[in-house]
Amino acid sequence: MGNKEQSMSIVLENVIVSDANSAKKVNLRIENGLISALDENPLPISPGDTVVAGEGKLALPGFVNAHTHLPMSLFRGLADDIPLDTWLREHIWPAEKRLTAADVYWGSLLSLAEMIKSGTTQVADMYFHTDSVARAVSEAHMRATISYGIVANKLDKHGKDELAMARETIERWHGAANGRIRAALSPHAIYTCGRDVWAAAIDLAHEKNVPLHTHLCETRDEVAWSLTNLGQTPVLALNEIGAFSIPTIAAHCVHVSEEEMAILAQRSVTAVHCPKSNAKLGNGHAPVVSLLRAGVNVALGTDGAASNNGQDMIEEMRMASLLSKGALEDPTALPAREVAMMATHNGAEALGAGARRISTGEDADIVLVDLSGVDTVPAYEPFSTLVYAAHGCDVTDVIVAGEFLLRDRKLFTIDEEQVKYEVNRRFGKAFAN
């Protein structure tokens, strides 16, 4: 769906922006995909400008969901409240084997629609049928780093085929959609890829100059497996193989020691905290406060919707903060502004794209959150209201690279009814239809 407003400049009037110290009302001009002006005084309006009244709305850099598997929205609620191993072996993996390229396309669009409607502008994805994922991202006009998830014990025929798929994904999609799509290389995890496979993947990442995106220290079983089979923890093993010579996005980092945190910080690894998925699968809670204190860049992710069961970054921020406070018995742990930085700035830093803050010259990836609803007034402090009170449905407008993807809660680039119809037609049970 095109829109004649898309190529014109946008003026956001009287939106609330907040930095580390204070909140204020400003006016923003967006043109050529960038924030071109920010002023507390009214901006001149030209004929053809799209003017948005922003009273009562907080303007934020778009949320960056730094770890997910977009098509897994198809398995939302498929199998809950069961042990992780049973969940994977008896439900998720068999269901994934049956997925077609078309299923993956519709599942990706379903997640992207949910993401846009809750303020996410950029995502790091790992899956298969990556052409379908990329096509959905491209059509949705989202910003994304996509990757093919490599699972191979040896560099045999299967291992080489997996690496070839990963190479193809990079060659086909890195820099596509006016640069909004980038690619990464994703050996799935230390326990699902053999040493030779890791070494070949690292070589390929160097050759293509793309980051690594993997799962790291998600479960106690993973650490135990690594100690038994490799004689060292996953972080030490990957460091020795040379993985961290490449910018690395490491999902989870739940079971890491102080020594390992120091390595992650020193090697510029981004830890992606996925608190809901970790809690729901009974895997524990990542030592987020310690990771941040150690100097690690910590971003935020939902993981796939099968273990979440959504893709809503406002809920993820709230979960991150509350679980840290509860686990540490400390109400000052992970305050609202810090967790909002993780969900925006730190994710954009990790992926090397998108807006890191609301200021001139930044990419115009902006979301407006209505703080005037019955769930949010009186909004004493914008970030406290956002993290502890607001909901995804309070996001009214979403702009990526200067284009509206959501305006007044209406999706511009995705036909929501068609997506729901296709997903229900393929996967829906009687209750959902």
Task: Report the interface residues with Zn ion, using CB under 5 A.
Answer: 303
* Cβ–Cβ < 8 Å for 295, 347: no
SS (H, E, C) 365-386: CEEEEECCCCCCCCCCCHHHHH
Query: Is the CB of residue 263 less than 8 Å from the CB of residue 231?
Result: no
Report which residue's Cβ sits closest to Zn ion.
Answer: 303
CA distances from 341 to 166, 344, 346 (A): 31, 5, 6
Smallest distance, Å, CB 182 to Zn ion? 18
| Of 276 and 356, CB closest to Zn ion | 276
Tokens of residue 83, six digits: 């042990």
Nearest CB to Zn ion, comparing residues 143 and 215? 215
Cβ 305 to Zn ion shortest distance, Å: 11
198 sits in which H/E element = helix 195-208
At closest approach, how far in Å is the CB of 215 from Zn ion? 5
Give the phi and the psi of residue 426 in degrees, each rounded to 5: -85, -35
Q: Which CB sits closer to Zn ion, 303 or 315?
A: 303
Give 147 or 413: the residue with its C-beta nearer to Zn ion: 147
| Least distance CB 218 / Zn ion (angstroms) | 8
8, 16, 62, 128, 144 from 138: Cα distances, Å: 20, 30, 17, 16, 9
Residue 188 or 345 having the CB closest to Zn ion: 188
Residue number, 26 or 251, with CB nearest to Zn ion: 251
Cβ 392 to Zn ion, closest distance in Å? 20
Distances (CA, A) of 151 to 178, 188, 194, 234: 30, 6, 9, 16
CB of 229 to Zn ion, least distance (A): 21
